[in-house]
Copies of this chain bind each other. A is one copy, B any other.
Amino acid sequence: MKLSQLAFKVAKDAPANADTINHKLLVQAGYVRQLMAGVYTYTPLGLKVLRNIENIVRKEMDAIGGQEILMPALHPKANWLTTGGWDNIDVLFKLKSRTDRDYALGQSHEEIVTPLAKELINSYKDLPLALYQIQWKYRDELRSKSGILRGREFFMKDMYSFHENQADFEKFYEKVKAAYLKIFKEMGLTAKVTEASGGSFTEKISYEFMVLTDAGEDDIFYCDSCDYCVNQEIAKVKEGDACPICGAPLKAARAAEVGNVFDLGQKFAKDFELTFANKNGEKQYPIMGCYGIGISRTMGVIVEKYHDDRGIIWPKAVSPFAAHVVALNGAEEYAIKIYETLKENGVSALLDDRAQSAGNKFAAADLLGIPVRLVISPRNEKLIEWKKRDQEEIELIDLNTVLTKLKTS
């Protein structure tokens, strides 16, 4: 992609209304535009990041046997009445057709996936079953700030699993947990598995995957010596208390939830009369689990974690491009050749071919945050200036070395 042809430009200044780093940097660099609080447009560059995150999540959900489907966002009222959600979930958007039919906008999909599963599950042989989707969700939030961390319209992966018994659910939960930690690690995030309350419909404990950041909306107590972590909402400990696992003193921190797991028990199966015949031929309700990852929120959390005062520093796995080629005055032709060669070698690249000063181009590269910057300058003849976004050292290397380093680093 050539920067000269991209409609959305990097801006000199941050937006005036930005209250968080992700909002400020994502708008200034041209990744998103705010339509209203909690509702954003993704530009061509922003869409690339979103799709990269989506694809990392999809790969791991497929790997643990999830079957990808796509459920609608427009739901009939009847499904939400059946579970009590119509009257009890305050963030549920409701609307009427002009012929007075009532609909809800999906803020989660238990109400759709459970009746769908009735057709798929008849016997214990049909279990376990895991269906997932990656789709936009709608929540009538009272306040929606923090950039793309808390959206009224947001992109989410939600998986629903169905099990013969509690032990099988817990076995699958361990698989999901391992997949989640792998996903977040690939994106450069260390997620803490945190005990939390079970939400609207269950007394059970749920697990949240928390990333430490001051931009988060949760407070947690965690232990540095072991994996213990608990949301302050349900904590029976306080900062400085001995960790209930290992005895080390607990720390307090602000955190953002990037994923969650709910043990739904038999609540939804009972509501929709979803049963299966067990090994003795008796009818039984399956145990359900629900597993979310906020795709758009994760994009925001990555920016909160990976930036400096000059701009974003994308982890390689989610970066819109692998390399940012800067063409300096007098080296335009050679820069295009480098850019084309990178593409031919399967390296995604952004070319800054704008008629701008070197200083402006370097500032844009820092703001956009692509992991590797390659400067093509007439004073270096055929050599290329290699600089990583998160380091200050510059190396002068030839094209073959650039290709090798891009493929191996």
Partner of A69, one of B42, B140, B153: B42
- Whether A76 contacts B42 in the complex (CB less than 8 A), given A7-B131, A68-B47, A120-B7, comes out as no
Q: Which of A31-39, A201-209, A232-240, A395-403 sits within the interface?
A: A31-39
Let me know if A70 is at the binding interface, CB within 8 A. yes
A76-98, CB under 8 A of B: which get 1 and which 0? 10000000000000100111011
Let me know if A67 is at the binding interface, CB within 8 A. yes
Let me know if A3 is at the binding interface, CB within 8 A. no
Let me know if A71 is at the binding interface, CB within 8 A. yes
Please, which residues of chain B bring their CB within 8 A of the CB of A95? 93-95, 105
A69 with B93: CB separation less than 8 A: no
Partner of A35, one of B41, B72, B97: B72
Please, which residues of chain B bring their CB within 8 A of the CB of A98? 90, 140, 142
CB distance from A95 to the nearest CB of B (A): 4
B7 with A129: CB separation less than 8 A: yes
Interface size in chain A (residues, C-beta < 8 A): 46
B42 with A73: CB separation less than 8 A: no
Let me know if A112 is at the binding interface, CB within 8 A. yes
* Nearest-neighbor residue (CB-CB) of A97 within chain B: B140
A8 with B74: CB separation less than 8 A: no
* Nearest-neighbor residue (CB-CB) of A130 within chain B: B7
CB distance from A310 to the nearest CB of B (A): 23
* Nearest-neighbor residue (CB-CB) of A141 within chain B: B97
A28-60, CB under 8 A of B: which get 1 and which 0? 000001011001111110110010000000000
Please, which residues of chain B bring their CB within 8 A of the CB of A97? 93, 140
A331-353, CB under 8 A of B: which get 1 and which 0? 00000000000000000000000
Let me know if A99 is at the binding interface, CB within 8 A. yes
- Whether A70 contacts B94 in the complex (CB less than 8 A), given A7-B120, A131-B7, comes out as no
B129 with A35: CB separation less than 8 A: no
Please, which residues of chain B bring their CB within 8 A of the CB of A177? none
A7 with B76: CB separation less than 8 A: no
Partner of A36, one of B40, B50, B76: B76
Partner of A44, one of B33, B36, B67, B72: B67
B67 with A116: CB separation less than 8 A: no
> Complex Cα distance A365/B70, Å?
23
> Complex Cα distance A341/B116, Å?
34
**What are 14 of the A-B contact pairs (CB < 8 Å)?**
A7-B131, A35-B112, A36-B76, A39-B74, A41-B71, A44-B68, A44-B69, A46-B70, A47-B68, A73-B136, A74-B138, A74-B152, A93-B95, A97-B140
Which 4 pairs across A and B sit closest by C-beta, in order of nearness? A95-B95, A42-B70, A7-B120, A39-B72
